[in-house]
Chain A
Amino acid sequence: MNTSSLSIALVSLFAALIAVFGLIPKIDLPLGVPITLQTLGVMLAGCMLGPKRALQALLLFLAAVAIGLPLLSGGRGGIGVFFAPASGYLIGWPVGAFVAGWVMHMLPRATPRGAAISAFVASAIGGLLVVHVFGVIGLVHIANLTWEQAIMGTLVFVPGDLIKCALCATVVHTVARGLPDWRFGG
């Protein structure tokens, strides 16, 4: 199979998966930042595709949002969402997916169990830590919060995101058993 064709298909597919997660209703929190399942898509893209393809998938998804497609949870889209309080999280998605993919690539993934543990660690670093760092920077600059307030605000998401890391690890474990030839982390 040609690598270039596979890249096109996988990048488009994972961008679509993140869009599908957006069709599942979001929960709004104070500060205008919603809890969505789409960050799970960021984690999955990193762990399943590796750094470069994950980055491409997220850039493709954000480009589709930016051109006006209502792909974010709650049917949001357009350039305007990149100026909202949650825009730091959005900008953090491609970087988080890249980092998750890179960490996954570095960790052992020969056995399903090993791949699942690596996926949890990669998701926690890329999909949680990196995304939240960008989110906090966005909250400080756009919502004019202090660093302490922004960090306290973002901590609300951490328990939910840890559950998403566990879900990502479970999916990776199942895929490792169902598709033994799949190359996690690229």
Chain B
Amino acid sequence: MGSLYSDDPTWLHGVPAAIKLAFLALLGTSVFLTSQLVALSICAACCLVIFASLGSAAARAKPLIMGLLFASVLIGLFHAYMQQPMVGTISVLRLISTTLMGIALTLTTRHTDLLAVFAWLLRPLRFLGVEPERLSLQVALMLRFTEHFFVLWRRLDDAHRLRTGKAGGFKILAPLTIQMLVAARRVADTLHVRFRR
């Protein structure tokens, strides 16, 4: 499964992940603290300039940009319909600013660097059983399982189609879950043997 990270080098690739995340958190908070149209317009324009400065790396995010445009148009139209064009404009400017910077961060930051920051951020959740040092292993396992279970889903669907002539749909959900849980036990045994924990 491919990441949205872009290998095309840009100036933003050189900025540490923690700084980019802190900037994003600050931006996200700031745009929701103000409702001044001028300030939000300047902010959105700056975000657009920063995003455009990524050049060809930004092209990889085309589907995400289309999604952003779709959501912006829907929100704008909804507020226009409700006779609140100013509220709609403010919402769209906030959405554009934060989402563009979120996409820029994703495009220019390796997932291993972000994982390291998240592992640090998740440390306070230890009392809930969250073990940040496991994060990389679990993400890797999750990706492996995602592909495995998608194949399993299709196999069960094919088998159901052969038997009944119809697609399996939700009927294969329960057998898929049972096979998953059995697989989880096998994987747990393997992990125990491999890591002794």
The chain A residue with its CB closest to the CB of B24 is A79
Per DSSP, are chain B's interface residues mostly helix, strand or loop, or mixed? helix
Interface size on B, residues (CB 8 A): 81
**A153 to nearest B CB, angstroms?**
9
B20 to chain A, nearest CB (A): 9
CB within 8 Å of B: which of A74-102? 74-85
Interface residues of A (CB under 8 A from B): 1-2, 4-13, 15-17, 19-20, 23, 28, 30-32, 44, 48, 52-53, 55-56, 59-61, 63-64, 66-71, 74-85, 141-144, 149, 167, 170-171, 174-175, 178-179, 182
Q: Can you list 16 residue pairs at the A/B interface with Cβ under 8 Å?
A: A5-B192, A6-B188, A9-B185, A12-B138, A16-B142, A16-B149, A17-B149, A55-B130, A60-B142, A77-B106, A83-B28, A141-B32, A142-B91, A144-B87, A171-B173, A179-B181
B residues lining the A interface (CB < 8 Å) = 1-5, 21, 24, 28, 32, 61, 63-64, 67-68, 70-71, 74-75, 78-79, 82, 84, 87-88, 90-91, 94-95, 98-103, 105-107, 109, 111, 114-115, 118, 122, 125, 128-130, 134-135, 137-139, 141-146, 148-150, 153, 170, 173-175, 177-178, 180-185, 187-189, 191-192, 195, 197
